[in-house]
Amino acid sequence: MTLRQALVLVIAAACAALLVPLLVPLLTGRVFVTYDLSWFHLPTRYLYQQALRSGDTVLWTPSILSGVYLHGEGQVGLFHPWHQLLYRLLPLQAAFNLELIANYPVAFAGMYVVLRRVQLAPPAALFGAMLFAFSGFNLLHHQHLNMLAIVAHMPWLLVAADVLITDDRPRAQAGAFAAIAVIVASELLLGFPQGVWWNLMTLAAFAACRAYETGQWRRFFACGPALAIGAMLAGIQLVPSADAFAHSDRQWLGAQFSMSFSLHPFDLVQLWSPYGFRKGTYSGIDSGQFHEFGIYSGAVLPVALVWVWTRSAALRDRRPLIVAATVFAALALLLSFGRFGGLASVLSHVPGLGSLRAPARYIVLVQFALTILAAITFDDLLAIIEGRRPPPSGRMVAVWLPAALGAATIAMFNTGAVAGARHVFTSLATAAPGLLFVIAVTLLIVLAGRGTPSALAGLAVVTMVDLGVWGTRYVYRQPPQTIEALTDTIPPAPGDPAESYAALEGKYRSDLLVMKGYRLTSGYLGLYPATFYRPEGFASRKFSGTRWIFTQDGFRSPAQGSVARARLVDESGRDAGGTARLAIDRPGHLVAELEAPGPRVLALTERFHEGWSATADGRPLPVVRVEQDFLGCRVDETVHRVELRFRPRSFARGMTLSAFGGVLLIAAVAVALRRRPAKW
């Protein structure tokens, strides 16, 4: 067996070892429940699956915040083909697990192809793919399903762009053009625009680097039309999301919101002392959420950064990629500093970007760029061992810089030598394993640089353990549970939908009650609809028909003073006699039977949205706001049955835009196939 074959087997086994813990819930009938997974993603996908199987609309749900444009909110990715397939065909537990797990092999395969296309040896490409797929960011953010899925698209977008720029075959160029459009559409259908922005930044940097290397700038600019067509293809999601954003409170949030979760520069200490902070991270003035501020992704990244620059003379053929990756990492790091760096504050004034928060998440781009440098390092070490490249001269002292910084950090802060440090830094015993990983990785790189073949296999194994201890340990911070156990303590909702409306006490964030049949008048979303009344306030609970109040510990008590699900009121909102009841009460479809003594307003506890329409015997009725936030329509004594449906124009316009994008894509590919390569 050759060295390359042995390394491929070792790295493949290391990747399998990192993937297996993520498969355990699928194989044992459980699901991961960390934060947003059980608060938002699992409950909303439950509602999604219920709507698909019952034939109800998936656009609107009455089960969160008294009714919300769920498709416009976007994060469930209701019309993504992968989600449609999963949640139509599989049980909820299996579909939910596969949606999460699939992101890791997709990211792995994409990164492997990217690194092979830039001429790295298979073992080096596998090593880089492992670093990217199981990076600190991807494991710590496993709870953000749609964000993780978009990050998994990143390398595939670069592959398509690379083919478009470097391949001279017309069919390959046409296919790459179509692939860029389809990949961008897929990202946008997942409903997390911040992740799409990261991918576009990465695409621009990578494609520019490849165009510079090949001189194919015309093909570089061909990426623009492909991106535009991709945005059109995703119109079915983009237009409704714009609608939901325009009616949300997100548009009114300012710089304080967009700069929340800014990475404090002091958190860079994690790169050489990952276990040094008492709370895991420093986080500065923001709340210390480990998954947002944990920036470590293996000791090999900072060591590799030093290695490639000390080897710049020997890596002359890699210099454009090394420079591009380093500059891109520095730029992304500056952006991740948010309010501490300045650049992110400037970008927040760009329309659309100002509504995005958590600059610390730009760290995913830092890790991506450094992963490329780590793969180049592995490739260089393999070339040295195989005799294809001369080894470094001297003692390689500079490579020990991260280890020296780690030792200095422990000496200064983790031993109590600096007054007050114990409130920020942890004990020597807790911090020491992080330093040991840095030392071990550095030693293995030095040994490989001196021609020791087994050092490369050791580097892969140590890196696997390093990533697993950091990331997989966090994934299992909350043990997986069965869906039944997750909801077992919640009393079931009454069978009558009108009696199932419930609110969570205070600002407790969770939609989990919907899985026991409740309709929440509170709720947890990414895009909260702008409201006149605070959802947790008495007035909102009254007019939303709240019947139950749940405390954070799950105790349920009856709510008092709430209005009926359907009632007749006058123009001022006061009860005005007559009777009204809902004969059909389904998501996005309501039918009311009523007896009105004269002109009245049929008032409902459903949240108002312009997408609602009302008819009686086929003729339209005016839809109006009741108490500013809720749905109603005008009726008179001649109206005895009213049908209301949620059919927003934004969805119809989005479908039209998607269809137009499909036609444009077909036309563009047809034209591309008929052109000569030189005209690209």
pLDDT in tens, 524-576: 999 999 999 988 889 999 999 999 999 887 889 999 899 999 999 998 889 98
Task: Express each pLDDT in 46-90 by its tens digit.
Answer: 999 999 999 999 999 999 999 999 999 999 999 999 999 999 999
Q: What's the confidence (pLDDT) of residue 679?
A: 45
Q: Which of 155, 129, 243, 139 is nearest to 191 (CA)?
A: 243
Asked whether the beta carbons of 626 and 543 are under 8 A apart, the reply is yes
Q: What average pLDDT does this structure show over 182-195?
A: 97
Distances (CA, A) of 195 to 60, 467, 515, 660: 24, 22, 28, 25
Q: What average pLDDT does this structure show over 462-478?
A: 96
Q: Which of 214, 444, 405, 210 is nearest to 325 (CA)?
A: 210
Whole-number percent of the chain with pLDDT over 90 = 83
Which residue range(s) make up the domain with 540? 487-551
Q: What's the confidence (pLDDT) of residue 256?
A: 76
Q: What's the confidence (pLDDT) of residue 553?
A: 79
Asked whether the beta carbons of 241 and 323 are under 8 A apart, the reply is no
| Diameter of the chain measured on Cα atoms | 97
581 located within any domain:
yes
Please tell me whether residues 332 and 456 are part of one structural domain: yes
Distances (CA, A) of 302 to 309, 457, 579: 11, 19, 71
Please tell me whether residues 404 and 538 are part of one structural domain: no
pLDDT category at 672 given cuts 50, 70, 90 is confident
Q: What average pLDDT does this structure show over 115-134?
A: 98
Asked whether the beta carbons of 429 and 270 are under 8 A apart, the reply is no
Please tell me whether residues 498 and 609 are part of one structural domain: no
Please tell me whether residues 491 and 623 are part of one structural domain: no
54 located within any domain:
no
175 located within any domain:
no
Please tell me whether residues 510 and 582 are part of one structural domain: no
Q: Which of 372, 367, 361, 374 is nearest to 196 (CA)?
A: 361
Please tell me whether residues 456 and 504 are part of one structural domain: no
369 located within any domain:
yes
Asked whether the beta carbons of 98 and 90 are under 8 A apart, the reply is yes
State residue 600 phi and psi, 5-degree precision. -145, 175
Distant-in-sequence, close-in-space partners of 601: CB < 8 Å, separation ≥ 6: 568, 569, 570, 571, 573, 624, 626, 632, 633, 634, 635
68 located within any domain:
no
Whole-number percent of the chain with pLDDT over 70 = 97
Q: How far apart are CA 37 and CA 22, in angstroms?
A: 14
For the chain, what is the mean pLDDT?
93
208 located within any domain:
no
Distances (CA, A) of 492 to 38, 79, 129, 328, 518: 18, 30, 46, 52, 8
Please tell me whether residues 396 and 333 are part of one structural domain: yes
CA 652 to chain centre: 26
Higher pLDDT, 183 or 357: 183
Please tell me whether residues 471 and 512 are part of one structural domain: no
One-letter amino acid of 414: N
Q: What's the confidence (pLDDT) of residue 278?
A: 86
574 located within any domain:
yes
CA 152 to chain centre: 10
Strand partners, 566: 604
Task: Express each pLDDT in 578-600 by its tens digit.
Answer: 999 999 999 999 999 999 999 99
Read off the CATH number of the domain in which 574 is found.
2.60.40
Q: How far apart are CA 522 and CA 606, in angstroms?
A: 13
Residue 294 has, within 13 A of its CA and on its CB side, a CA count of 24
Please tell me whether residues 471 and 515 are part of one structural domain: no
Domain boundary among 551, 580, 598: 551
What is the rounded (10 degree) CA torsion for 304, 308, 314, 315? Answer: 110
Q: How far apart are CA 321 and CA 101, in angstroms?
A: 31
274 located within any domain:
yes
Please tell me whether residues 395 and 273 are part of one structural domain: yes
Number of domains in the chain: 3
Residues in the chain: 680
Please tell me whether residues 523 and 573 are part of one structural domain: no
Q: What's the confidence (pLDDT) of residue 419?
A: 60
Task: Express each pLDDT in 282-295 by its tens digit.
Answer: 876 666 689 999 99
Q: What's the confidence (pLDDT) of residue 240?
A: 97
Please tell me whether residues 398 and 325 are part of one structural domain: yes
Task: Express each pLDDT in 370-412 by its tens digit.
Answer: 999 999 999 999 999 999 999 998 778 999 999 999 999 988 8
